[in-house]
Structure 1
Amino acid sequence: MKEQENKASQSEDALIDGVVRLLGDARKGRLHLQDVKNKAAMALAKYGRFVSELLRDSGVHVPPAVNLQTGTDGHIHVIGEHPDRERIEQLFSAHPQLQKGFKEVEVVHEIIRTEEEAVEFRKAHQSDPRQADKLKAPNDLAPIFNLGITSGGPVIFFSTTAEIA
């Protein structure tokens, strides 16, 4: 039990280190949302190229697009009926760099989404505090991060339901 907690803590520390590498250390200066968005876009493009090359080298064809989500088990899953679904999920299981890169992109985009929602809430609260409370989504509708690998490049979007079977 203690060993699993240590591994989980080390994994979280590694993820935090990756995000700090990507964004810079906020303790050394102020980060602006647009700066985070710019770095996130560059990281997404780089990661998208990496995934696309690995898929191509493994004989996976795009199109059709590949839609990826993190499951409750912590693994990355293909959403929908892609003909190479099993092969793609095996690639993610076999390549820690694929998983790490996915999580880094996910965390950065979650930071952006959260901050954008907070800005929207603050603006709404200034004009009408009662209306602002309606912007808060129930926990069961919390957006879920999705990464799409398409022939035109990677795409990020959030859905309101986990679609993992």
Structure 2
Amino acid sequence: MFVSATSLAFPQAAYQAQARAGSAPEAAPKQVLPAVAASLTEAVDGQQVDAARQWLSAEVADFAAEVGKKFREEGLRTSPEPMLAVASDGHVTVVNNTPDRQQIERLFAANAELTQRFTAIAATAETVQAADDQQAFVDQYQALAGDAKAQKALVSQEAARSGNLRFHLVLTPHGPEYFFPGVLRASA
């Protein structure tokens, strides 16, 4: 893993603290905040995140080139651009309406190595995004020092938002692009 376990302590620490307190995020008692706050003071390990980001950039480009070659070999169309994601059961799925959707999904189902590469890319991208989100959260939380009510509201907001990352890769004629639904699209 490219990011240390402590650098991604939130939101897991918040959920654990709230579970120990027996409450939902919005109803967390005051004694939960110190446990959550302790996990928030650790900044993200920027060097690990940068290394993961560099690997991700290179791997997405290499993966897209390999997938493009396989698509050409199989005679699969890439218009409209196929948008790939990892389904809840771990298989690679096409989430948009493209004419060769079923053939593309069969290609991944028949090629375990290709599927494993894609899931590794997705996991790394989600980890990098979570690390970026955590650093932004830590900065916001620390800026609210002295305002326990605002910190509690921020924790509740983050707990409600966390866990919604879902990596998507779009194979465009100009190169691969990846994004997370609800998050701005980022070109790879």
TM-score, normalising length from structure 1?
A: 0.73
The Cα of 1:124 is off from its aligned counterpart by: 0.2
The Cα of 1:35 is off from its aligned counterpart by: 2.2
Tell me, yes or no, if the aligned pair for 1:64 and 1:82 is still in contact at 8 Å: yes
Equivalent position of 2:180 in the other structure? 158
Overall identity of the aligned pairs, in %: 24
Tell me, yes or no, if the aligned pair for 1:121 and 1:135 is still in contact at 8 Å: no
Q: How many residues align?
A: 136
The AA in structure 2 aligned to 1:37 is R
Matched, 1:51 2:37: no
The AA in structure 2 aligned to 1:122 is V
Evaluate the alpha carbon distance shift between residue 140 and residue 40 of structure 1 in structure 2; reply closer, same or farther with a 3 A threshold.
Answer: closer
The Cα of 1:137 is off from its aligned counterpart by: 5.0
Equivalent position of 1:95 in the other structure? 111
**CA shift digits 1:17-56 (9 cap, x unpaired):** xxx6xx5xxxxxx943222211110111111111111111
1:74 is matched with which residue: 79, 84, 90? 90
Equivalent position of 2:12 in the other structure? none
TM-score, normalising length from structure 2?
A: 0.64
2: CA distance between counterparts of 1:35 and 1:81? 34
2:99 is matched with which residue: 65, 70, 83? 83
More off after superposition, 42-51 vs 71-80 = 71-80
- RMSD after superposition: 2.6
2: CA distance between counterparts of 1:40 and 1:104? 9
Over alpha carbons, which structure has the higher Rg? 2
Displacement over 3 Å in runs of 4+? none
The answer for unaligned runs of 5 or more in structure 1 is: 1-19, 24-29, 161-165
Evaluate the alpha carbon distance shift between residue 108 and residue 82 of structure 1 in structure 2; reply closer, same or farther with a 3 A threshold.
Answer: same
Equivalent position of 2:136 in the other structure? 120
Equivalent position of 1:32 in the other structure? 48
The answer for unaligned runs of 5 or more in structure 2 is: 3-45, 183-188
Equivalent position of 1:12 in the other structure? none
Tell me, yes or no, if the aligned pair for 1:92 and 1:99 is still in contact at 8 Å: yes
2:122 is matched with which residue: 106, 121, 143? 106
Secondary structure of 2:75's partner? Answer: coil
1: CA distance between counterparts of 2:128 and 2:74? 32
1: CA distance between counterparts of 2:88 and 2:164? 14
Matched, 1:149 2:171: yes
Tell me, yes or no, if the aligned pair for 2:86 and 2:122 is still in contact at 8 Å: no
The AA in structure 1 aligned to 2:180 is F
